[in-house]
Chains A and B, each alone.
Chain A
Amino acid sequence: MPPKVKTDLTTRIKDLVFRNPLTVASGTFGTKGEYAPFVDYSKLGAIITKTITVNPRAGNPMPRICEVTGGMLNAIGLQNKGLQDFLENKIPFFAGIPTPLIVNIAGETTEEFEALARALEPHKRVVRALEINLSCPNVEKGGAGFMRKRERILDVMKAVRSHTGLFIFAKLSPELGDVLEIGEDVVKAGAGGLSLINTLKGMAIDIEKRRPRIANLTGGLSGPAIKPVALRHVYEAKKALGVPVIASGGIMSAPDAIEFLIAGADLLAVGTANFVNPSATLDILAGIKDYGRRHGLENLDQLRGTLQVSPGHGDAGGGG
């Protein structure tokens, strides 16, 4: 029997200290207190906001969501009330919560990313890090398609870096191209860490009407269906680049979360699971604590990145 210990879940990324690795994926936890009836926000390790843009965005036409096997598609289109509203109404709300806030930002141009970084800089007592959304599959300008041109991503990263002292996570997805190559480039351009992965672009068709089930035609696939893909990218990025990683993609349960920790993830962003189970974050947290006790873990670093790979395996890509 391993000794029964209470696992210290404290997670450190540079000088940022999180009481545990549990956070929420951008766009799945609202912009203010939407989940407060179900979740004590002060129990979370960090909170990641829905994407903020300089100007308010109306979002995409309806229908914007549909259920698919193993998850859902969404094409919300970054609907939000814009930077000014965030500064006036949301920052004061989060200032009252003792949980580090990571603000997710997106722009249509390098200048917009720059403006967001500059405007958030004075709020660093509340805003502890930025997550740069480079991979939204549902918008044209500034979305994943747009950012497929490498110089655009790098321009954005450099611009943000030069206008903020905050820690920067770059949110990437395979929609952009080779995640490892891009990851290496964005780290060189000033990202301190990566956020992996965003939703994957997909489709669903109503066969009776022969119409797309999402008005935008395509939407971002999230949920358990994308977990293996996310896990692979987190594992590869940690192994190749060694930078801090926020993992997201189909984390529905504590076992899912623990897989990501073993793959090396620093923070665990629970996303679509919040829609299905409003208490998902705290349920997962309880499950991690229980696992830590059962395995006699003193801290999570005894678990992080401890995947056992047989010699000669796990280096090359590809299956077959």
Chain B
Amino acid sequence: MVDLPVRILENKRINGKYYKLVFRSKRLAARVEPGQFLNLQIVPGTDPFLRRPFSYYRLEDERIEILYEVLGRGTALLAARAKGDGLRISGPFGRAFKKNLGKKKRILVAGGVGVPPLVFLSERYGCDYLLIGTKSREEVLPKRELAGVRGKILYATNDGSYGLKGYVTKLLENLIKNFPAKEIFIQTCGPGVMMQAVIDIARREGLEGEASVDKPMACAVGACLGCMVKTPSGWVPSCTEGPVFKFQDICERL
């Protein structure tokens, strides 16, 4: 873990949904695994007050890419930062997705800001299926961004403008019929409602898996106890004990 200043190499909108932020740091890029995150100070000073956690999207040597959506004031201010501007970043934090699944099929279920870490995971360790849910075609990542995915990508859009019409969980329901439950391992990241629907399916069908939970966060090191997740052993900080949790360790509705 390090805390250091970086310079923005690139910060631009890449489609109707995502912005891409690029910077370089050998130390922040060292020993990062998919599912881990960094904590970024958007603007120097104290407004916005807290740093914002972002998952790692892509690493190429020292080059780090982050994919984000403008969801509030902080990310809107981030979108306005220019090439050459400075940022202060700490990381890498948290527990990553399980990499070695043995003979199990790796099925990734992604939506919204959950897409970047799962693309990272599939680029590095491969997957059998990457299921991506969006509202419409405009929000689907450009082809070049998904060129490195080592696995089959299936899409679902709410309006049916690309891939299956409906929620990404419909894709999942269809897909799991093809494999015995014991051979499936699901890894999901995205909006809470989506991940909860995935967990509900997994519980019903007896499937194993992990979800990367997203909680309001401050310190990122397990000190403030703000980002708690209810587990069988009580409230634990998602920044250090997660953000990736096994389905059975999540004892709350996301």
Contacts and interface: CB of A to CB of B under 8 A. Distances in A.
Contact of A76 (B48, B50, B225): B225
B2 interface: yes
B216 interface: yes
Interface in A217-253: 223-224, 252
Nearest to B73: A67
Contacts of B50: 67, 72, 275-276
Given A35-B223, A37-B2, A74-B226, A62 B215 contact: yes
Interface in B219-254: 219-228, 234-235
B225 A67 contact: no
Interface of chain A, main secondary structure: loop
A30 B220 CA distance: 11
Contacts of A62: 215, 228, 235
Nearest to A279: B3
A58 B219 CA distance: 19
Contacts of B3: 38, 277-279
Interface residues of A, number: 35
B175 to A, nearest CB: 32
B33 to A, nearest CB: 17
Interface string A33-51: 0110110000000000010
Interface string A41-74: 0000000001000000011001111111111101
A105 to B, nearest CB: 18
Nearest to A77: B225
A110 interface: no
A69 B47 contact: yes
Contact of B224 (A66, A67, A275): A275
Contacts of A272: 218
B92 to A, nearest CB: 11
A64 B226 CA distance: 5
B235 A79 contact: yes
A276 B49 contact: yes
Given A37-B1, A37-B2, A62-B215, A30 B49 contact: no
A50 B223 CA distance: 9
Contacts of A277: 3, 41, 88
Contacts of B2: 37-38
- What are the 5 A-B residue pairs with the smallest beta carbon separation, nearest first? A65-B226, A30-B223, A37-B1, A275-B218, A275-B219
Given A30-B221, A65-B218, 4 more contacts: A65-B227, A252-B46, A272-B218, A278-B3
